[in-house]
Amino acid sequence: MRRSKCKHGWRKILELAASYRANSGFSGRPRGSRNKLGEVFIAALAQDFEAHGAWAIAKFREKFPGKYLSVVAQILPKEIDLALEADISHHIEASRGRLSHC
């Protein structure tokens, strides 16, 4: 097992960093920076979609169908997810009922 070359160890470094942040008034990321990054990303995504549009989506769907479905599932609202889950559960129960009669 390799030992840290630092004589204080990582735990001490983390403690020092935490006390520095607490005492210096450092509050982390500037306010609104995450929202600004999101806005910039969405604007770039919209620009890319305008340039390549449905063709790029179709190509992605053909080449990576599993990833395509994963993206679709992440975009769908939670309500649709719950409705699909209930529908799937209903079909599973119906299938079990049919199988038990065989």
Mean pLDDT calculated for residue range 30-56: 81
Residue 71 located in a structural domain: yes
Mean pLDDT calculated for residue range 65-79: 83
Residue 77 located in a structural domain: yes
pLDDT at 7: 56
Q: Which residues contact 71 (CB under 8 A, 6 or more apart)?
A: none
Mean pLDDT calculated for residue range 19-40: 69
Tokens describing residue 58: 């179709």
Residue 70 located in a structural domain: yes
Please give the residue range of the domain that contains residue 82.
53-102
Residue 1 located in a structural domain: no
Into how many domains does the chain fold? 1
Q: Are 73 and 81 in contact (CB under 8 A)?
A: yes
Q: What is the C-alpha separation between 85 and 7, in angstroms, rounded? A: 54
Residue 92 located in a structural domain: yes
pLDDT at 17: 72
Residue 71 has pLDDT above 80, yes or no: yes
Mean pLDDT calculated for residue range 74-102: 72
